[in-house]
Amino acid sequence: MSVEDGIDFAIIELFFFAYRDFTSDPDQMLADYGFGRAHHRVLHFVNRRPGLTVAELLDVLKITKQSLARVLKQLIDTDHVVQLQGPRDRRQRELYPTAKGRALALALARPQSRRIRAALEDSGATERTLVERFLEAMVNPELRAQIDVGSAKMSGKSHGEH
Amino acid sequence: MSVEDGIDFAIIELFFFAYRDFTSDPDQMLADYGFGRAHHRVLHFVNRRPGLTVAELLDVLKITKQSLARVLKQLIDTDHVVQLQGPRDRRQRELYPTAKGRALALALARPQSRRIRAALEDSGATERTLVERFLEAMVNPELRAQIDVGSAKMSGKSHGEH
DNA sequence: GAGATTATGTCAGTACTATTGACGTAATTT
DNA sequence: AAATTACGTCAATAGTACTGACATAATCTC
């Protein structure tokens, strides 16, 4: 059962290898832009949830605002992300990807998506759902609400260029 | 199908959340020792493959020897790992966990294993195998040989105290 | 309206993990 | 004897993260 001392070393190790390789393709591409994995994460979530505020982004990423600052500033300076004053609350900054930002987010996601497709290649919808359910169950329960499982909720925002 | 632009954003995002939370429990415990995630990885593989050489460890972790040096030195200084001169080739250093090292490796793996068990709780052997196969398929093909899938191969080495 | 709170930004210092490049030593191979 | 290998170490740098402190503008509360 690949278990010693009652510990599931097999999946623990597989998870490490799988995640490392999963992030390796975008990591290499990011180097060309002078970006790192942190930029990828920010860009990913801004692209996925256009119009989210800085506070919301911090809550999703679970990092401090000081950590976000550098990365977000670089993404703004390089015209990948724009900030708009919040319509309801003018203290807030809503974050949107630019066309350039969306293109990069897509380019970074492409090899990851390809890898997933290859890993599921002989699998049907059942297997796919099972993997999704497993991954979701690995997330801390109190955070599962943050996850978009189905098609992305575009939050009814404009989604256009800014 | 939770796919936009042909990109599997759902699993990409789930994988990020899942891995982050998966590593969070040992990360917290490691802080008590003044250790980081790098120490966990080294200790894990030394524990899993007792007697592996420094070069083999570098090859598994895919880091440079300079990166390994600090971490390994600390694990040796704190009596979690010992080095033995290679029996065949005296230039080599075989790495073994001490009892203390094995205890820590086990303690760090416990919450991770618990999380996996919980995630698979209503699943049978089929689902487990499927998740294992998915994770393995996510790993770069040329590296799959390094992975111990079944019960750990203890490499025929003593496995005792050193 | 005054004061408290909130959202965001920024400065300073520190820690951890990783890198490249260079050099040294002992052991093995050719 | 010379080249190569396994390992260790020194130095400099980068990327991501942290805590703590302070500033500003906007909103909320009394």
Q: Please give the Cα distance from A81 to A46 (Å, whole number).
A: 8
Enumerate the β-bridge partners of residue A7: A4
- For chain B, give the percent of residues with pLDDT over 70: 89
As a rounded value in angstroms, the CA-to-C1' distance for A46 and D15 is 21
Domain ranges, ordered by start, for chain B? 24-140
pLDDT of residue A79 exceeding 90, the answer is yes
Residue B118's pLDDT is 95
- From residue B32, give the alpha-carbon distance in Å to each of B79, B95, B113: 16, 24, 20
Phi, psi at A27, each rounded to 5°: -55, -45
Q: Please give the Cα distance from B87 to B85 (Å, whole number).
A: 6
Directed axis angle between helix B9-31 and helix B99-119, to 10°?
Answer: 150
Q: Please tell me whether residue A43 adopts helix, strand or coil conformation.
A: helix
- How high does pLDDT run on average in chain A? 90
pLDDT of residue A66 exceeding 80, the answer is yes
As a rounded value in angstroms, the CA-to-C1' distance for A48 and C7 is 22
pLDDT one-digit tens code per residue, A31-56: 999 999 999 999 999 999 999 999 99
Q: Which residues from A are below 8 Å from B131, CB to CB?
A: 11, 130-131, 134
Q: Please give the Cα distance from A54 to A132 (Å, whole number).
A: 28
CA distance A45 to chain B (A): 9
**Class of domain A9-138 as given by CATH:** mainly alpha
Q: Which residues from A are below 8 Å from B130, CB to CB?
A: 123, 127, 130-131
pLDDT of residue A62 exceeding 50, the answer is yes
Q: Which CATH number, 3.20.20.70, 1.10.357.10, 1.10.10.10, 3.40.50.720, labels domain B24-140?
A: 1.10.10.10
- How high does pLDDT run on average in chain B? 90
Q: Please give the Cα distance from B67 to B74 (Å, whole number).
A: 12
pLDDT band at residue A154 under the 50/70/90 scheme: very low
Residue A149's pLDDT is 64
